[in-house]
Amino acid sequence: MEQRKIEYTTVKLDSLQPHPKNVRQGDIGAISESLKTHGQYRPIVVDKRTNLILAGNHTWKAAKALGWQQISAGFVETKDDDEALRILLADNRTTDLAVYDDNNLADLLKALAATDTGLEGTLFDGDDLDDLLFKLEGSVGFVAEGFSIAELKDSFENSEVKNLSLPYNKEQIQTIKQRLTELMKNTNAKSFSDVVWNLVNEAL
């Protein structure tokens, strides 16, 4: 398909309508905080044929809750309701499929947290950063089904035996496993943990 023509303009908020078949439930409170802090930094997407919102339904609702009278929008032409609905669902689904690079995210949040304004305007807070670091710095390698990070942190902190997770790529992991297995046999160690403990002690 050729690139769609998009007509960008600022329109009255009440001239648009949220799509009645938008099944996504956005966090209007969080979006409102972003709008109050940063303003609108990208337009919502509207079906020129119907004036229904295809992308940005909750941005529109947050702006309305804040008492805004106008909003920036990009208008696209759809051929029928079926195509409009497919665009709506595709936009929501691409958000679902996105993931964070947790290590880089942690670095960014730590850098911002060290500034005078901290994490203000990011929609992350100190607890979010703590939880992320807890996951990355060896406390848990996974989130057990049915347990929140807070519950896992509490369990971890009260446990006498704790796991240490270290990140390696697939090739490194295979090499490490092979060498740890060889060291277990050569040193009569009972586990990989014993091998690592002995290596660390001997290195001092």
DSSP letters of 64-106?
HHTT-SEEEEEEE--SSHHHHHHHHHHHHHHHHH----HHHHH
C-alpha distance from residue 49 to each of 2, 68, 119, 201 (Å): 19, 24, 41, 72
Work out the pLDDT band at 170, boundaries 50, 70, 90.
confident
Angle, CA of 159, 162 and 166, to the nearest 5°: 155
Residue 10's nearest CA partner among 33, 43, 49 is: 43
| pLDDT for residue 67 | 97
Rounded CA separation 115/118 (Å): 5
| pLDDT for residue 21 | 96
Rounded CA separation 113/129 (Å): 9
| pLDDT for residue 144 | 47
Residue 201's CB is within 10 A of a number of other CB atoms, namely: 8
Tens digits of per-residue pLDDT, 82-107?
999 999 999 999 999 998 898 899 99
Read off the pLDDT of each residue in 191-201 and give the average, rounded to a whole number.
84
Q: Which domains does the chain have, with CATH numbers?
A: 7-97 (3.90.1530.10), 102-157 (no CATH), 170-203 (no CATH)
Tens digits of per-residue pLDDT, 101-152?
988 999 999 999 999 999 999 999 988 888 888 777 654 444 444 555 566 5
